[in-house]
Amino acid sequence: MVETLGEVLPHAARRYGGKTALVSDGGRFTFSDLEAKSNAFANGLVAAGIKPGDTVTLYGPNSWQWLVAYYAIAKTGAVVNPVNVMLTPEEVKFIVGDCGARAVVASVDKAPALMDMRSNVGLSEVVAWGDKAPAGVTPFDRWLEQGKPTFTPAGRSPKDAGAICYTSGTTGHPKGAVQSHRSIVATAMGTALMHSRGSADTVVSPLPAPHVYGSCVLNAGVLTGATLVMLPRFSEEGVLDAIQTHRATMFDCVPTAYYYLLAHPKFASYDLSSLTRCTVGGQTLPVAKSQEWSERTGVPVLELWGMTELAGAATFNPYWGDNKPGTIGLPMPGMLCKIVAVDDAETEVAPGERGELMIKGPLVMDGYAGNDRATKETVRADGWMHTGDIATADADGYYTIVDRKKDMILTAGYNVYPAELERILCMHPSVALAAVCGVADEAKGELAKAYVMLKPGASASGKELVEHCRQHLAAYKLPRAVQFVASVPITPSGKIMRRLLKDVDDGTRTAGEQRQTRDG
């Protein structure tokens, strides 16, 4: 039985051997190929002094080298610290120092900035993949060429730290969630189980590998012998072409990807008939968009939910079972969820009532690295973890995320949830994407403002969209302004960054004053 991250790839190589495991960067790699390369790289890490319990930072874009380094680090018994490729050197410096990384493995374009950190934060080794590694940086390929293709993974306990993954740091410095081997392996197994992933599947994923959604999809695929088509980044035609070319059975991504794909003028020209199911996570996908995807492709979108503090996905709409669009589904086996009063975690609320989602079980992090105070504020002594998500539960035990507590808009004493408004706006036939945030108002404290992308060739006025919302929502929930935009700020993992929506504001006008037509 696989119990640690370092055992995942060796197990798959023994079982699936010469089967294609990865398609990336124009190359194809079997499970045996990846096993040999990661073994060679693991030998290089050990020769450089990396020991079990050390931390190694992994900093680069989706690529076969990223995957090889990820499993190699785990095999040595070191703790993997995968970081967002879009972070600045200053941000990476903080993370490297905070987690005490001994080495960094990175793409060559990141290497020069990392060299300045060697003396400042105690790095002993910088390794880079790509052409022409700068002086003082160990070329990635050198270890692959010189290292032996065999390696015995270091013995680790499922309770030991397997990874430290940092939150987005929307306020102050990011926090490093310490994930045990047990939690990393369990979320991969749960993902495979709830979506019925297996060796017959070909999975297209542009998800950033350092993100927990990306890593649990990766690990689930390797564990079950699936073929992963790892795209370097999201693009509409890149995804559609990959699904068509590789006859993919699955596609995993975030809501914004579905918005853009459905709005693409050439969507209908691609053959997506090989798909059998798709998944979405990261943020809520409005029901209207889920239904539109299913109507146009003939396959379900299975929504899931997870957190960095849970090592990945923890609740799922199952493939074999009821799929309820708009919900995040059921807890995976072994996990418990409950809804409590926002201001009193001791009081559970009735089904259908809104409250904070709390979760308990083997996926819950060990804590935030070096931050006992934040850990105690998030994980209670009894093991229940605050998620910060406002949610409801139905009579069947399916959970629905209403919104993040921190995104809630307080207008004249009423709570307005951006995700609810976004869901209604996306029901309008002209809307490709909608994002909502609060803007200051002297009289009511905050008002809801909508930022809307229209479908190619479609038109709508702000007044029309407000009237559409009025048919479905109470008056206090209506957007008081609508701005039409060509794009919205998103994170590298594809989440809409509501806190940055104001940065695209070119002057607030009333809903009735704004009108825009997008041509395809």
- The residue from 140, 162, 180 where one domain ends is 180
- The residue from 115, 149, 180 where one domain ends is 180
* Single pTM value for the model: 0.84
Identify whether 352 is part of a domain: no
The enclosing domain of 486 has a CATH number of 3.30.300.30
Identify whether 458 is part of a domain: yes
Contacts of 352 (CB under 8 A, 6+ apart): 392, 393, 394
The enclosing domain of 172 has a CATH number of 3.40.50.980
> Given its phi and psi angles, is residue 196 left (phi above 0), alpha (psi -120 to 50 degrees) or beta?
left
If you search the block for the tokens 């090889």, which residue do you land on?
A: 68
pLDDT of residue 505: 55
The neighbour count for residue 395, using CB atoms within 10 Å, is 7
User: What tens digit of pLDDT does each residue of 471-509 get?
Assistant: 988 788 899 899 999 989 887 777 788 878 888 755 433
pLDDT of residue 168: 66
Identify whether 23 is part of a domain: yes
CA 154, 157, 159 angle in degrees (round to 5)?
A: 140
pLDDT of residue 518: 29
Q: Which helix (H) or strand (E) holds 416?
A: strand 414-416
pLDDT of residue 118: 74
- The residue from 118, 149, 180 where one domain ends is 180
Identify whether 83 is part of a domain: yes
Question: What does pLDDT average to in each consecutive run of 10 residues of the chain (520 residues)?
Answer: 96 98 96 98 97 96 97 98 87 90 94 78 88 90 95 96 83 84 98 97 96 95 98 96 98 93 96 98 90 97 96 97 96 97 92 95 96 95 94 96 80 77 92 90 81 93 94 86 91 79 58 33
Q: Which helix (H) or strand (E) holds 447?
A: strand 445-454
**197 token code pair:** 């992933």
Identify whether 257 is part of a domain: no
The neighbour count for residue 314, using CB atoms within 10 Å, is 30
Long-range contacts of 441-447 (CB under 8 A, 24+ apart): 441/411, 441/480, 443/412, 444/411, 444/412, 445/410, 445/411, 445/412, 446/409, 446/410, 446/411, 446/416, 447/409, 447/411, 447/480, 447/481
pLDDT of residue 13: 98
Identify whether 387 is part of a domain: no
Identify whether 151 is part of a domain: yes
End-to-end CA distance of the chain: 52
pLDDT of residue 107: 95
**Whole-number Å distance between alpha carbons of 360 and 380:** 10
Q: Does residue 37 contact residue 146 with C-beta atoms inside 8 Å?
A: no
Range of the structural domain that residue 31 is part of: 5-180
pLDDT of residue 119: 67
Q: Does residue 352 contact residue 392 with C-beta atoms inside 8 Å?
A: yes
Q: Does residue 38 contact residue 137 with C-beta atoms inside 8 Å?
A: no
Identify whether 347 is part of a domain: no
When divided into structural domains, the chain yields a total of 2
CA dihedral 15, 82, 161, 280 (to 10 degrees): -70
